[in-house]
């Protein structure tokens, strides 16, 4: 059996459902259409790649938007916005939504001069060997989006762009997630090998740069939504205008005219429910012990995958409410009834795609060749 590649999202799928992991990552089975979330996230990444070239200069908004449109190509699809101000859920055209998100992002962060970009879109590979036998059991791979020098904190950090349907109130789970841990485990060795950092330089952490999949809500310049002003709000504002006299029974409409003539922007009380943020950044830091522990976790999971591939451990399913959204859901249901019929369904209704095609392309763009692995069936 050829030595397999392993990436972080694959590790997550393996721990969620081995049945899906095996048929998607090992056999390459997937639906005939590309899910909207997949092409949408890729297109946003391509746009942000244009936004952050090496150095301090930022790519212009027209170029950012053009890159997004080019990456979208002929793909079409709808994206649901969750947790909106007026509705619990709204639907948007994916292409239109992405353009508005990127416009809002560039406006929100401006020149983003805190980050000096050192390197972009770096794919990596690292061998995972059995510590007892030395046998190569997997090659761990992935790509981080940016290496930056934080000009305020005076440290190197990785950056990973993410699009999310909703934002959490507590992001501390990023302090345990495998992506942050594995990237910080691998990055120092790769970057020193490339000569991008010195032997004594340290990667302080990884910034998860998140964009919420939602349209901007109308707000004041301070980003807050206000109720309509009442009479007392106008009176309080106009009281600061020198020499202005207001008759006792002056109505709200007349007060509004007076405020406008005086150049005043009068607001009401802030609304009790404010729109959730559209952009957030969370930085996770991992100590040396945590980075070593991440390497141990990768080894343990790679060994477990190896045993399942070779039929030494049974292939397990993990049914949940989310199964209905799985591209292999119908295949999985048929597998429960008749394995032969399930295979016929896979041959006619599903397609085989290389789940590592983007990694192979990225490695080739960086001057490396990655052989296409062939996995033996269990």
Q: How far apart are CA 252 and CA 232, in angstroms?
A: 9
Q: Which two tokens stand for residue 66?
A: 């053009």
Is the pTM of the predicted complex or chain greater than 0.95?
A: no
Which tens digits make up the pLDDT trace of 113-161? 999 999 998 889 899 998 889 999 999 999 999 999 999 999 999 999 9
Extract the tokens encoding 133. 């036998």
In this predicted structure, what is the pLDDT of residue 344? 94
Spatial contact of 128 and 137, defined as CB atoms under 8 Å apart: yes
Helix 94-109 with 61-72: angle, nearest 10 deg = 150
Give every residue of the chain whose pLDDT is below 50, as ranges. 84-88, 371-378
Whole-angstrom distance, CA of residue 183 vs CA of residue 187? 6
Q: How far is CA 274 from the centre of its chain?
A: 24
**77, 36 in Cβ contact below 8 A?**
yes
- C-alpha–C-alpha distance, residues 359 and 10, integer Å: 13
Angle among Cα 317, 321, 323 to the nearest 5 degrees reads 50
Phi and psi of 128, rounded to 5°? Answer: -115, 110
pLDDT at 89: 56
Percentage of residues of the chain with pLDDT beyond 70: 92
The pLDDT value recorded for residue 80 is 67
Q: Which domains, and CATH codes, for the chain?
A: 5-35+112-216+276-365 (3.90.320), 218-273 (no CATH)
Using one digit for the tens of pLDDT, what is the confidence trace for 233-288?
A: 999 999 999 989 898 889 999 999 999 999 999 999 988 887 788 999 999 999 99
pLDDT score at 75:
81
């Amino acid at each position: 059996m050829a030595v397999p590649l392993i990436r972080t999202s694959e590790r997550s799928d393996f721990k969620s459902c081995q049945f899906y992991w095996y048929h998607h990552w090992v056999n390459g089975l997937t639906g005939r259409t590309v899910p909207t979330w997949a092409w949408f996230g890729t297109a946003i990444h391509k746009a942000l790649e244009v936004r952050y070239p090496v150095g301090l200069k930022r790519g212009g908004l027209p170029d950012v938007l053009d890159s997004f449109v080019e990456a979208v190509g002929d793909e079409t699809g709808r994206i649901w916005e969750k947790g909106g101000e007026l509705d619990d859920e709204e639907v948007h055209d994916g292409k239109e939504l992405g353009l508005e998100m990127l416009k809002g992002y560039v406006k929100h962060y401006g020149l983003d001069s805190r980050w000096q970009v050192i390197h972009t879109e770096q794919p990596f590979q690292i061998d995972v060997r059995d510590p007892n036998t030395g046998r190569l059991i997997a090659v761990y791979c992935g790509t981080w989006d940016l290496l930056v020098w934080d000009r305020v904190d005076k440290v190197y950090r990785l950056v990973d762009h993410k699009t999310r349907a909703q934002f959490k109130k507590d992001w501390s789970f990023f302090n345990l997630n495998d992506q942050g841990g594995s990237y910080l485990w691998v990055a120092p060795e790769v970057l020193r090998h490339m000569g991008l950092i010195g032997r004594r330089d340290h990667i302080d952490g990884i910034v998860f740069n998140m964009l919420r999949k939602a349209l901007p809500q109308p707000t004041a310049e301070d980003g807050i939504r206000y109720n309509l002003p009442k009479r007392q709000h106008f009176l309080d504002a106009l009281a600061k205008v020198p020499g202005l006299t207001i008759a006792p029974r002056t109505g709200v409409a007349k007060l509004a005219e007076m405020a406008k003539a005086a150049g005043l922007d009068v607001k009401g009380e802030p609304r009790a429910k404010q729109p959730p943020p559209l952009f957030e950044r969370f930085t996770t830091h991992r100590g040396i012990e945590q980075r070593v522990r991440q390497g141990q976790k990768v080894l343990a999971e790679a060994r477990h995958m190896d045993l399942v591939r070779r039929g030494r451990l049974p292939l397990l399913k993990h049914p949940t409410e989310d199964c209905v959204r799985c591209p292999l859901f119908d295949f999985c249901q048929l597998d429960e009834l008749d394995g032969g019929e399930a295979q016929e369904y896979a041959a006619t209704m599903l397609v085989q795609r290389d789940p590592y095609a983007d990694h192979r392309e990225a490695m080739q763009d960086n001057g490396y060749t990655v052989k296409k692995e062939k996995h033996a069936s269990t």
